[in-house]
Amino acid sequence: MTSQLSQRSNAVHSLSSLTTDIVVDLGCCSYQLGNRVEDSIQTLIRRFKPAVLFGFDPHPALTEKVGTVYGTTVITSRRAAWTHDGVAGLTLESNCTHIDLDEEQTTKVFDLASWIRALPDTNIVLKMDVEGAEYVLLPHLIEQGLMDRFSRVLVEWHEGRYAHGWESAREPILAGIPCEVEEWQ
């Protein structure tokens, strides 16, 4: 692997110089693909070849780093995308994290809409594997008028306990997204 991520998580980077694609990877943990372990960061870089990939996951095993992977600048952060800045409850199960406002364990969260709004005016690929938070985050982005910032959205739609019964909102959410939406597996 040609990964050279450094431990400089506090480094400052100017976003004003970005002129090519950005990939935002929400839920950038590893996953099982057949008999091998993959991670979404490498998968997304190989597919989209962005100049920059931002990876967010509140999992305690995520190391915050700034570096280069396959020629892409990668910046990872141990925070969860949400509808406001601050903290929120967190459920941790194996390699999955789930925002649960009733949990005592907490994690840092950031307002995804405000963060997207601060990015340069370029097309963005958004990948969401956020354990049910897609039913909160996508409507938040739609309400904030930000869906036209994305050239493509990849989302894993969760069902059952993580979806909190919101599965019926999927079609109305999809109707508010003007770009191509793909199922992330």
What are the tens digits of pLDDT across the range 136-150? 999 999 999 999 999
> Which SS3 state, helix, strand or coil, does residue 38 take?
strand
Rounded CA separation 153/95 (Å)? 22
For residue 16, give the DSSP letter.
G
Q: In this model, does residue 8 exceed pLDDT 80?
A: no
Q: Give the model's pLDDT for residue 34.
A: 66
Global pTM reads 0.85
In whole angstroms, how far apart are CA 105 and each of 62, 84, 101, 145?
Answer: 17, 18, 10, 32
Asked if residue 13 has pLDDT above 60, the reply is no
Strands 80-82 and 106-111: parallel
pLDDT single digits (tens) 70-110 = 999 999 999 999 999 999 999 988 778 888 888 899 999 99
Is residue 132's pLDDT more than 50?
Answer: yes
List the beta strands (DSSP E) in the chain.
3-6, 22-26, 30-33, 36-39, 52-56, 66-69, 72-77, 80-82, 86-93, 96-99, 106-111, 124-128, 150-155, 180-183
